[in-house]
């Protein structure tokens, strides 16, 4: 038993993606085309089954395009001082609904004196949502997803932990690779997007995972690089 710990800041993303996108979109399109061909010849009962496959593949292609566009939009998005906890609270109804459907539970452990940070709230939501969805997808109906915030030195850290399948060493190595997915309906772009969002916020992502035990993603933002955030932190601490 050992815990894998990797820092993934160094991986280049968009370059690899440009080459793969054409290929990846062609896969679901080829499936759709093949099944449309078959639909011409088949009975109504068979058509029902084909219809579902065609819709799923179209959704998959659409998902790839959406995720790719978010990722390609690599410009510095507008940031403002916002609180991670507010963002988490805004996402809560969505997360709880998701977890409920799966029979899973969610635990929130929000730290005290966590300062505001200079963030793009929309991107931050996308980041947290992607990490939470992955966590849920890795767990069965007894799983618990934990969202935690902490202050560690001059860093604000966000932990997204699941009690799911965990990953092998070789899976961990490929985790952030665009289009790397182990799911039949995955796009493999979720974590590539997460990485890009974290980089745009000058943060880091670390992953610890143990097979059969679970996985934790740790996102760290430096408070020091945001003078505003530091001021907020000090005045919040003083007033509490």
Bridge-based pairing of strands 144-152 and 155-162 is antiparallel
Distance CA 155, CA 167 (A): 27
Site for ligand ADP in 185-214 (CB under 6 A): 186-192
The yes or no reply on residue 181 touching ligand ADP (CB under 6 A) is: yes
CA distances from 161 to 38, 94, 210 (A): 44, 17, 12
CB of 11 to ligand ADP, least distance (A): 12
Site string for ligand ADP, 132-171 (x = CB under 6 A): --xx--x-----------------------x-xx-x---x
The yes or no reply on residue 71 touching ligand ADP (CB under 6 A) is: no
Contact indicator for 32, 52 with CB cutoff of 8 Å: no
Residues comprising the chain, all counted: 240
The yes or no reply on residue 209 touching Mg ion (CB under 5 A) is: no
CB of 20 to ligand ADP, least distance (A): 13
Residue written as token pair 């993603």: 217
- Residue 144 host element (H or E): strand 144-152
- Binding residues (CB under 6 A) for ligand ADP: these are 130, 134-135, 138, 162, 164-165, 167, 171, 175, 180-183, 186-192, 215
């Amino acid at each position: 038993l050992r815990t894998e710990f990797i820092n993934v800041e160094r991986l280049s993303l968009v370059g690899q993606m440009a080459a793969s996108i054409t290929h990846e979109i062609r896969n679901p399109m080829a499936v759709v085309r093949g099944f449309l061909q078959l639909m011409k010849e088949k009975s109504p009962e068979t058509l029902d089954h084909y219809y579902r496959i065609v819709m799923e593949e179209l959704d998959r292609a659409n998902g790839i395009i959406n995720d790719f566009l978010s990722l390609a939009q690599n410009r510095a998005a507008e940031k403002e001082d916002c609180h991670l906890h507010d963002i988490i609270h805004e996402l809560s109804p969505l997360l709880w609904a998701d977890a409920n459907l799966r029979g899973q539970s969610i635990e929130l452990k929000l730290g005290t004196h966590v300062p505001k940070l200079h963030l793009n709230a929309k991107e931050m939501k996308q980041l947290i949502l992607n990490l939470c969805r992955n966590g849920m997808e890795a767990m069965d109906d007894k799983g618990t997803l934990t969202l935690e915030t902490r202050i560690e030195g001059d860093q604000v850290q966000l932990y997204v932990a699941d009690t799911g399948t965990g990953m092998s060493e070789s899976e961990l190595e490929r985790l952030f690779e665009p289009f790397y997915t182990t799911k039949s309906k995955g796009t493999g772009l979720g974590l590539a997007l997460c990485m890009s969002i974290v980089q745009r916020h000058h943060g880091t992502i670390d992953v610890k995972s143990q097979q059969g035990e679970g996985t934790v993603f740790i996102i760290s933002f430096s408070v020091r690089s945001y003078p505003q955030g530091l001021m907020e932190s000090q005045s919040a601490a003083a007033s509490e």
